[in-house]
Structure 1
Amino acid sequence: MKTSEKAVTRCVAILGGSFDPVHNGHVALANYFVELLKPDELRIIPAGNPWQKHGLQASGKDRVAMVRSAFSTQKTAVSIDQQEILRDSATYTIDTLRAVREELGPHVSIIFLMGADQLQHLNTWQEWQHMFDYAHICAASRPGFAMDAAHVPADVTQEFTRRAASMEQIRSTAQGLAYLAPNLAVDISATEIRAALQRGKHPISLVPPGVLDYIEQHHLYKS
């Protein structure tokens, strides 16, 4: 297991995603780990051209505006990193983590956050094992997406098992560790939200109020 032996001065949690649109599940995942980690910064990175997803419906500008609204009440300092939107080529998380590590240097704990749905196919991500060379990875459960060995690929389970660490260890080292949180029960799908909006519904319980207002004002996700 590789972890940084240098003293860590800051802790930055990263939440990436298509955010098409951002919804209460994204906010709940961020809040959950903010409470556990007490990071100095929560960095939100909207995807640009994610290679495993096609046809983002909202523009990068609109998704950034929705993310800014969704996280406007965070107590932790929030930054929105647009590097993936500005990237011309396909978006790979490994490239983003390399860029963030180069920017922040070796003395910062970088924690990449994900849900169980992403964990279940993490082994299909570009150079996924090398993500640990630049950051820790923390994953949280989601209803319908089990985190046990029967649902998570064996190589992912093995990697998370050998790198398993406490929140204190993750916050005090720069990269290379993993944490599985089994008790976050929020089940919201952006696909479900887009479908509801196309039917003329208002998914008030699924989307932050400011985001729903933005969607309506800019006539997003209409058929």
Structure 2
Amino acid sequence: MSRGTDRLPVYYGGTFDPIHNAHLAIAIGARDALHARVHLVPAADPPHRAVPGASAAQRAQMVALAIAGQPGLALDRIELERAARLQGRPSYTVDTLQQLRQQLGPEQPLAWLIGGDSLAGLAGWHQWQRLFALAHIIVVGRPGNLLPEVLPTDLAAQVAGGRWCMDAQQLHARPGGCLYPLPLPLREGSATAVRSAVAGGQAVDGLVPPAVAAYIDAHKLYRFHAG
């Protein structure tokens, strides 16, 4: 897909195994709150363990079905395409942001969207210290797991000294470097709950978009994946 025309492109990565209504609510909420185009980025299949409940191609197709007809939301296969080129190499967020930065140029504002639970573990990500040099980090709280009050020591030191941004205009004005908390009215939902429901023979109406439910049924996904 083409890049470089968004005022503030926001990238929302995840396994999306499968994408569900809570994922969709986050993407739509970020789009509307930030007046941004949100690119959903399915993770590639892990090279050294079993694939998730659905393959990367299937997960990407479900994302495409979920966002069809939603303005301002886009599927981005950047990690899948890179994994196809560099088979066997793990796909890290820092690599994705580095690739996006090279494509968009040094002055284009760029943001990566994560949940509050991911923020707590950010210091365990591969080369996590480089993330702020490449992009803004937008943090969304989740039901029962809001933004952590206390950050791990290494991460707290990294974000000290003005890293937190409370004005969304700063995201548009700078290429990266901000840690921005995004307040959204979030909804309950998890991919684990969807997989468990399918494996238990239960309907997933209300958990995933109808087109995704139909795809799961047609391709017989998750029937033996309760975890």
Q: Normalising to structure 1: TM-score of the pair?
A: 0.87
Equivalent position amino acid for 2:95 in 1: D
1:80 is matched with which residue: 34, 59, 75? 75
Question: Do 1:138 and 1:180's aligned partners in 2 also have CA atoms closer than 8 Å?
Answer: yes
Displacement after TM superposition at 1:58 (Å)? 0.5
SS in 1 for 2:79: helix
Aligned partners of 1:46, 1:128: CA distance in 2, in Å?
A: 19
Q: Which has the higher contact order (CA 8 A, sep 6+)?
A: 1
SS in 2 for 1:113: strand
Q: What runs of 5+ residues in structure 2 fail to find an aligned partner? A: none
SS in 1 for 2:41: strand
1:48 partnered with 2:58: no
Aligned to 2:59: 63
Question: Do 2:12 and 2:112's aligned partners in 1 also have CA atoms closer than 8 Å?
Answer: yes
Displacement after TM superposition at 1:153 (Å)? 2.3
Aligned to 2:163: 163
Q: Deviations over 1:33-61 (max 9, x none)?
A: 1112111x321211014589864111111
Aligned partners of 1:94, 1:48: CA distance in 2, in Å?
A: 14
Aligned to 1:110: 110
Displacement after TM superposition at 1:146 (Å)? 3.1
Q: Normalising to structure 2: TM-score of the pair?
A: 0.86
Aligned partners of 1:70, 1:126: CA distance in 2, in Å?
A: 29
Matches within 5 A, 1:10-25: 10-25=7-22
Q: Structure 1 pair 211/9, CA: closer, same or farther in 2 (3 Å)?
A: closer
Q: Structure 1 pair 71/9, CA: closer, same or farther in 2 (3 Å)?
A: closer
Question: Do 1:147 and 1:182's aligned partners in 2 also have CA atoms closer than 8 Å?
Answer: no
Q: What runs of 5+ residues in structure 1 fail to find an aligned partner? A: 1-7
Displacement after TM superposition at 1:13 (Å)? 0.7
Q: Structure 1 pair 84/24, CA: closer, same or farther in 2 (3 Å)?
A: same
Question: Do 1:50 and 1:92's aligned partners in 2 also have CA atoms closer than 8 Å?
Answer: no
Alignment: residue pair count? 213
